[in-house]
Structure 1
Amino acid sequence: MRAIVRAARSQDLEPLYEMAKLTGGGFTNLPADRDALAERLAASDAAYARDEDALGDDLYLLMLEDLESGRIAGTAQIITRTGQRGSFHSYRRTTLTQHSAAFGRSFKAEMLVMTNDLEGCSEVGGLFLHPRFRAGGLGLLLARSRYLFIKLHRARFADKLIAELRGVIDEGGGSPFWDGVGGRFFQMSFREADDYNARHGNQHLADLMPRHPIYLAMLSEMARGVIGVPHATGRAAMRMLEAEGFADEGYLDIFEGGPTMTAMVDRLRTVREAREAEIASVGEGGGIRSIVAAGRLCEFRAAFALLVETAAGLEIDGQAAEALALRPGREVLHVAR
């Protein structure tokens, strides 16, 4: 399969909607709602069209396209700054230690504390691959293309990056964490809350979540057991994030308790290792399997390629050159797979 990652267009609404219906809920950045997705595409269009090369309140949507069939195989998103349309809340898992002289021992209590620590960070999210295309490293291509996009447009992003992983969702579409925490305050099921968030954003419910620390000992065993655990379909994504340099610092999504990973942008593996170079020639294949990106903003494209470094520049295989519309003399950003 020959695939590219490219900027999203308004024509991508229907395939985006079809993918959203396959997520199974809890995927806030990719709601199965046409109007909400159309709003995201419009916001993405505006971000790509913005001239000022500086940090703003932007959303960039990327699409993975099968060039042979023209079919959309996946999608991903980058948010430049969280909390610009309302506070950005997370829970953080902490421990309170208290010493009792009378008992001659210390008591430790784990708790969840509401925090705005991650407000103002950039965020990568909304990564979803159509089930038919979950092979051949396409998830890796889609994920790492985001970091190449960030490096190409570094001034538009914050210094810290987060990635929220969806938490555990049961077979009925419910969330044990929500049932143990948020559901006790809102008297609505997780599916109802998830649908509301998809249509209206999660700020309204987030503003009404309890602000006092929540002691884990007071939660059900089922709710405690899923804290910080990613959804089964998100385990591979978590491993990719860890390989890229993200860490789990104890932050959690406030609705379904999935882990929020954090990293400094300039320490990401892809950002550190990516190099700019000029295409010197188009070859017949061979060389290092790499990810190559070219073009700014709405012209951004990324794909796998075989590269050979020469004194004159890069030699790229013909298929990749065609997919990325490259010719000798073009500048690209590349990183070994």
Structure 2
Amino acid sequence: MNFRVRAAVDDDLKHLYEMAKLTGGGFTNLPPDRPALAAKLERSHAAFARADGPVEDELFVLILENVDTGEVRGTCQIFTEVGRRHPFYSYRLGTLAQHSRELDRTFRAEMLSLTTDLEGSSEVGGLFLHPGERAGGLGLLLARARYLFIAAHRARFGDRILAELRGIIDEAGGSPFWDGLAGRFFGMNFQDADRFNAVNGHQFIADLMPKHPIYTAMLSESARAAIGMPHPSGRAAMRMLENEGFSYEGYLDIFDGGPTMTARIDKVRSIRDARTARVVAVDRDGGGDALVATGTLADFRCTMAKVRPVGDGDGIVLSAPAAAALGIGEDDRVIHVGRN
């Protein structure tokens, strides 16, 4: 089967809603709420329609589509600049060292501080792959298509990029981190807070969250154990991010305590190594495994391909199924990066 990543359109709302119902909670960027998803699509359409200009707080929604059947099997999102419309809050895990000369003892206390350090960063998020498709590298296609989109539209993004990974969620759909910390101040359970945040944004955090640092020793054991830990289903995503050059620097999601991964955008491997080329020929002889994209903004498309460089590297031979999925042929321009 052949798949491609493309810009989301209005007809994808029903597919996004069906996928959102499968997430299992704690998936802020894909809420099972039709009006909220429709608003995301409207915002995405506006971003795809803006041809140029400075970096703004925009959202691009991409869709994974089965080329043969037209079925939508996944989605992902790219935010160009977080924190401009609403404050972008994170917890930062730090250490305070204190020494008593009389006791000859040094005490190091871990602390969580509410911060907006990451405001102005771009963000990759909202990645969801249908459970029936979690094989064959489709998660990799969805994830890395975002980086080729960024590489092709570099002026629309900032210098830093982040990815928030979902944290630990228990079998009842609750969050030990939320219950041990924020839930005590908000008088609402994790599911309600997560749903409210997905639809209305972070402002209620600014209104109600205590601004002073929190000593982790004061939290429950289950809350402490969840700090910086990804949901089991997100461990592969964390490894993919690390392979791209992201790292965990102590920033946490304020709701479920999941790790926030960060990187310099021009050092993300798929962005740094992406190359533009002209399609010299289309054949079935094969070549190296690669991701190949073409088109700008709403016409962007990305797929897995076999690619064989020719000449000085400015030209490539492209596998026929990939050319068909992208709707291109000889002399068209593409951007590509090796799969490995």
Task: Give me the TM-score of the superposition, normalised by structure 2.
Answer: 0.98
Farther off after superposition, 201-210 or 179-188: 201-210
Conserved 8 A contact 2:86-2:202: no
**Residue in structure 2 matched with residue 313 of structure 1 by the alignment:** 315
Worse-matched range after superposition: 197-206 or 151-160: 197-206
Contact 2:96 2:110 in 1 (8 A): yes
What is the CA–CA distance in structure 1 between the aligned matches of 2:44 and 2:211, rounded to whole Å?
33
Report the count of equivalent residues: 337
Greater shift, 310-319 or 250-259, is seen at 310-319
Per-residue deviation, residues 60-111 of structure 1 (Å, max 9, x unmatched)? 0000001111111100000000111121111000000001011011111001
Which contiguous aligned blocks of 4+ residues in structure 1 show a shift greater than 4 angstroms? none
| Larger deviation, residues 200-209 vs 263-272 | 200-209
Counterparts of 1:1-337 in structure 2, within 5 Å, are: 1-311=1-311, 313-337=315-339
Q: After superposition, what is the alpha-carbon deviation per residue over 1:302-323, rounded to whole angstroms, capped at 9, x for unaligned?
A: 0001111112721111111110
The amino acid of 1:146's aligned partner reads: R
For residue 222 of structure 1, report the CA deviation from its aligned partner. 0.5
Q: In structure 1, how many angstroms separate the alpha carbons of the residues matched to 2:285 and 2:3?
A: 17
Superposed displacement of residue 180, structure 1: 0.4
The structural deviation recorded for 1:285 is: 3.2
- Counting aligned pairs with the same residue, the percent is 59
Q: Distance in 2 between matches of 1:248 and 1:315?
A: 38
Structure 2 residue runs of 5 or longer lacking an equivalent are none
Q: Secondary structure at the match of 1:48?
A: helix
Spell out, residue by residue over 1:195-232, the C-alpha distance to the aligned partner (whole angstroms, 9 max, x if none): 21122223323442111100010000000000000011
- Summarize deviations over 1:30-65 as a string: whole Å, max 9, x none: 000000000000000000001224311110000000
1:286-312 CA-partner distances (Å, limit 9, x unpaired): 100100010000000000011111127
CA distance in 2, matches of 1:145, 1:199: 26
Do 1:281 and 1:314's aligned partners in 2 also have CA atoms closer than 8 Å?
yes
> Can you give the 5+ residue segments of structure 1 that lack an aligned partner in the other structure?
none
Q: Distance in 1 between matches of 2:28 and 2:285?
A: 41
Find the residue that maps to 2:120 and give its secondary structure.
coil
Could you tell me whether the CA contact under 8 Å between 2:86 and 2:201 is conserved in 1? no
Letter in 1 for 2:322: A
Distance 1:301 1:283 in 2: 20
The secondary structure found in structure 2 opposite 1:40 is helix
d(CA) in 2 for partners of 1:133, 1:195: 26
**RMSD, aligned CA:** 0.9
Q: Is the 8 A contact 2:76 2:126 kept in 1?
A: yes
* Contact 2:87-2:202 within 8 A present in 1 as well: no
Q: Which amino acid aligns with 1:291?
A: L
Of stretches 123-132 and 283-292 in structure 1, the one that deviates more from structure 2 is 283-292
Secondary structure (helix, strand or coil) at the match of 2:262 reads strand
For normalisation by structure 1, the TM-score amounts to 0.98
Please state whether the residue corresponding to 1:146 is helix, strand or coil.
helix
